[in-house]
Chain A
Amino acid sequence: MEESEGTWVRQARTGDQGAFARLVEVYQVPVFNLAYRLLGNSTEAEDAAQETFIRAYTRLSTYDPERRFSSWLLAITSHYCVDMLRRRRITYLSLDDLPPMVELAMPTMAQPEHAVIRQQDAGAVQQLLNALPPAYRTPVILRYWYDMSYQEIADTMNVTESTIKTRLHRARAMMARVAQGTGLPICEGEIDERTIV
């Protein structure tokens, strides 16, 4: 995979649009997901994901092959989306403005209700992310959806590892406050202790 990716990148650099199309095929989901999670809107995410690939194509000559291609691509997506959010002059939701949040830890329930809850749950995820400033959203998304280490996130965002630690800690504290402020019911039995090592 890595080898073919390297070949595709080299071919795309020489103007081979077929090779570039293969890169788009492979990375469309990670790029779109990051854009969607950052912007919270599928139309804008589609536009941002397309723009990411266009920018990647036109800036392929600046890509350093020593770096992971996925990190480079996600960095372009993140910068573009954060710029969009700043341009949008997003107003962060105050805790009082938020509608009641769906239960995060869900009890077992009948099948038709599952779909509804899943939809509500997706809304809850975006609510949590929307409560964060743009610079804090990217590390959270890269940590939870891409399973990146602190160092990988730092490399992608071009900041230090300690900055990432601070941003993640503040982001988690903010999201916890949002969850508490909206009367989030937490089922004690559902809390998984595996996260404590």
Chain B
Amino acid sequence: MASDLTLLIPEIILLLSIVAALVAEMLRLPRTALMVMLAGLLLATVLTLPLLGQDTGVFSGTYRIDTLSVWAKLILLPATALALILARAELAGSDREGTAYVLLSLVTLGSLVLASAGDTMLLVLGVLMSGLGSFALVAYPRTNVATEASMKFFVFASVTGSVMVFGLSYWFGGTGSTLLSDLARLESTPLVAAVGLIAVIIGLGYKASLVPFHFWAPDAYEGAPVSIAGYLSVVPKVGAIFALAQVVRHLPVTMDWRLIIAVVSVLSMTYGYLAALVQNNVVRLLAYSSIAQAGYFLLGMVAVGVSSLAFESMVVFAAAYVAMNLGAFAVVMRVGRTLDDFTGIGRANPVLGVAMVVFLLSLTGIPPLAGFVGKFLLFAASIDASFTWLVVVAILNSVLSLAVYLRIVVPMYRQGDTVGATRLTPIPLVTLVWVTAFAFTLGLGLAAQVLLSQLN
């Protein structure tokens, strides 16, 4: 038990700092709450480092400390810190500012539980924890749009969540256990295995905004503050994807689950980019793009159990995705929500423009940026698992994605609009975030070995 607790130090620190931040908020000290949270996140990240290479479980194997779980912490904790900084820039001075920080961190904790789940009940717990905070965060501005978005989000989550719990009961009936590692027992009852899997894909697919469980995402992102939308597009999504990977690795080998995942992947990528192609609101555009990017993650998922590159590629892509997507949202926060806001921005603000172009090209997967390394490994994993056709679809979608992202880039450098375009005075906190994200997007692309050597 004592050793269990030492393995949980990052989570414990996160939880303690959440409590401390809540106290600070009750004392009406939102700035202190932020500082406490940032310090806690930083400390938790640093203390996760000694856990690298661990492959064990705590609480009788229901909570895992393995590659996915440790890397989820290393990626999502700093991402949360960046999101907090963004939120501060957007929400400072508003009523209940500190609660936003607390809720945000709680959602992160839920996402970490998801990524570390070794038991079906922890899946449920993780979905609930990351869900409840998210609804409140989306509704934070208390405008009509935000309330409606939050309501949709909530209803959607309730339905998918219940379906998941319902499906999981089949698995419990089939295996007599809630442990994911016992799923192999379902080999003789393929129907039970399939019902449960589909329910899990629905429950986690909503969280990761995979098609066809994505409907809430564009509305929620649009209604929420930009910083919250950016946060929701990375942290809970990565948590849910990793959770799904934790599930599928234990499915019976005879089961054809890979095909189901591949189909969801194709739907997400294709629908996400096609829908993004017609958006004029940049936040909605990025929401659909994040739906498509979730589909890319699944290219690594189909290789789980057959290719050594499976987890490696998903972790690298997760790190890349977090950096480039948060960066893009940070720029949107500074520039504005509509495509018109971007007109001439690249000419008037060259550095900001270059950063945005880099984020978008990285999302497309152009080398030598982080997104390329991630997608490249995902493609390799998928081909290794004999899913070449899936890679072909992904490649076609990458071309489509270029058309999507160029819809932002082209107006940025349109000629003749230089007069109208404003020179934006930088907001220090936002600048800090996109500069950090920029450094990671570029650095991870050139020095992916730093990550890869730790993963092997």
Q: Do A and B bind each other?
A: no
Q: Which of B's residues lie within 8 Å of A, judged by CB?
A: none
Q: Which of A's residues lie within 8 Å of B, judged by CB?
A: none
